[in-house]
Amino acid sequence: MIASVVTRRIGVVWATVTLLAGAASYAQSQTTPAAPELGQLRILYAGHPDSEREKDFVQFLGQYFNTVKTADLSAFKEKDAEDFDVTILDYDGDGFKAPRPNISLGFSKPLLTMGVPGGLMCSGWRLKLGYL
């Protein structure tokens, strides 16, 4: 049981790093300045404050990125992401009771949505990656 939980956590974290690398690659184009080196990306993790999940993500991401900050998902506003290159929205626990910030379709920063709240938010945007 514990091994499967640890394996699942590690898989989620590695998937996040892969997605962040993809976001950095996508952010770079021929008409804009070069994207910062991967380690220079500024990451905002908005989730469940002081949860084990938040602590795990911050500790892991801190090994690869110089700037990793946290925010409370229940109080998250789009302007909170202004000073960051990538924002991760996540929540642990009962996802159906988790906060769901209102993110406009015009929000243009790279954004990763994870867990049930992420799935539900993506469903609201009618994305195929929504909660299945």
Mean pLDDT value across the chain: 78
Distance (Å, rounded) from C-alpha 91 to C-alpha 84? Answer: 19
Express as a percent the part of the chain with pLDDT over 70.
Answer: 68
Distance (Å, rounded) from C-alpha 14 to C-alpha 61? Answer: 10
Please report the pLDDT score of residue 30 as a whole number. 44
Question: In what helix (H) or strand (E) does residue 44 lie, and over which residues does it extend?
Answer: strand 42-47
Residue pair 17/64 in contact (Cβ under 8 Å)? The answer is: yes
- pTM recorded for the entire structure: 0.70
pLDDT band at 70 (very low <50, low <70, confident <90, very high): very high
Residue pair 35/76 in contact (Cβ under 8 Å)? The answer is: no
Distance (Å, rounded) from C-alpha 52 to C-alpha 90? Answer: 12
Distance (Å, rounded) from C-alpha 44 to C-alpha 3? Answer: 28
